[in-house]
Amino acid sequence: MEENYIKRIRSLVGNEYIMVNATAVVIVNDSGEVLLEKRSDNNLWGLPGGLMELNETIKEAAIREVKEETNLDVCLTRFIGVFSNPFMRWKELDYAKVFTFAFTAKVIGGELKINDHESLEMKYFAYEELPPLHSIDTIEIIEQYYNFNKIMIEGEIYDG
């Protein structure tokens, strides 16, 4: 297995502000609730996903991150879009501009289980009951997902 890309970059540039590519995956249950994870680094909620490694495509990164964080096997079903977070911070001095590629996915296997290193809790939430979310891109992705589905349900034409 290759060395973690971010650890390698950080060893070269220290705490300099960097740009990274990430994924986020919207998984909904039969009730239309979205799966969120309570992050261990900031105690806020976010979508399953994470940073892309050099040896994978963005789709492979999305599938891998969901598996690592949730233990679920997924099939990506739709590309939602690219979202930007100009100031993401994981630790006190580890900050970056993040470009997040967002997808919807269908669960095809596995059993939901928390990754103790990254998550404190996993839970499905209705749109009206969303907890505090950890980043602007997460908020925008969830809003885009629900707005798109509302338009499609109401039979209107979506013009992007």
Catalytic residues: 121
Tell me the C-alpha distance between 159 and 156, whole Å: 9
Alpha carbon of residue 32 to chain centroid: 17
Longest dimension (CA), the chain: 52
Determine contact, residues 118/70, Cβ cutoff 8 Å: no
